[in-house]
């Protein structure tokens, strides 16, 4: 049998176009999972910050409950919001040189900070300071007195309920700026009653 096309070779190879298409397909196949992994990592970091913020908000809610319950169980006559409304209750403190803490108002616009470890309440003038993180303590603590600046700012406000003088609406907001410079926040609302 004779070869009809004497100038064609039996060897065949890829053209430049076929090679470029193959490289493009490989790049797409690799870039997709890498992009998904990157977005997953960012979501995990945001979720970690959200969990920390929620725990910081819940810490403030528990502290307000503690002050209310301590006031009610105390033998000394104090108001059920003493220590949170600017009046003394015998244990809630204010740092030296700071504005006495009053978180309670009829419009919910008064804001304060709470340090549950040091048992103090402090009014915020314009903006509340950021919490510090102290890793030297057992497990690490968020406080205002020791450690270095953390991501989180915690703001507490307590609004009296006009229809019921024995009820307040507590709002705790924890905000932070993430690695993408996006301001994020977690807000916890809870109504508390004077149970006595």
Query: Residue ranges per domain, the chain?
Result: 29-193
Rounded Cα distance, 155 and 127, in Å = 9
**Is there a contact between 102 and 86 (Cβ–Cβ < 8 Å)?**
yes
pLDDT > 70? residue 6: no
Q: Does position 18 have pLDDT exceeding 80, yes or no?
A: yes
Average pLDDT over residues 164-190: 93
Is the pLDDT assigned to residue 10 strictly greater than 70?
A: no
Kindly state the helix (H) or strand (E) to which residue 59 belongs, with its residue range.
helix 16-73
- pLDDT tens-digit series, residues 76-129: 778 899 989 888 888 887 766 565 668 899 998 999 999 998 888 988 878 899
Contact 154, 60 (CB under 8 A): yes
Taken in order 27, 28, 29, 33, the sign of the CA dihedral is: positive
Question: Which distant-in-sequence residues (6+ apart) come within 8 Å of 127 by Cβ?
Answer: 153
Give yes or no for residue 196 having a pLDDT over 80. Answer: no
pTM: 0.78
What is the predicted pLDDT for the residue at 67? 92
């Amino acid at each position: 049998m004779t070869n009809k096309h004497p100038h064609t070779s039996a060897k065949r190879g890829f053209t430049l176009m076929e090679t470029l298409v193959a490289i493009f397909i490989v790049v797409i196949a690799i870039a997709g999972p890498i992009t998904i992994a990157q977005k997953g990592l960012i979501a995990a970091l945001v979720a970690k910050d959200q969990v920390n913020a929620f725990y910081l908000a819940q810490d403030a809610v528990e502290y307000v409950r503690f002050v209310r319950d301590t006031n009610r169980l105390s033998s000394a006559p104090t108001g059920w919001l003493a220590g949170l409304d600017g009046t003394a209750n015998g244990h809630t403190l204010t740092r030296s040189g700071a504005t006495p803490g009053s978180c309670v108002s009829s419009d919910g616009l008064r804001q304060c900070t709470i340090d549950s470890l040091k048992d103090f309440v402090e009014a915020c003038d314009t903006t509340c300071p950021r919490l510090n993180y102290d890793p030297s303590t057992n497990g690490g603590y968020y406080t205002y007195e020791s450690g270095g600046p953390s991501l989180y700012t915690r703001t507490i406000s307590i609004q009296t309920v006009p229809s019921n003088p024995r009820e307040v609406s507590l709002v705790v907001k924890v905000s932070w700026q993430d690695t993408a410079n996006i301001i994020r926040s977690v807000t916890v609302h809870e109504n508390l009653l004077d149970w006595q």
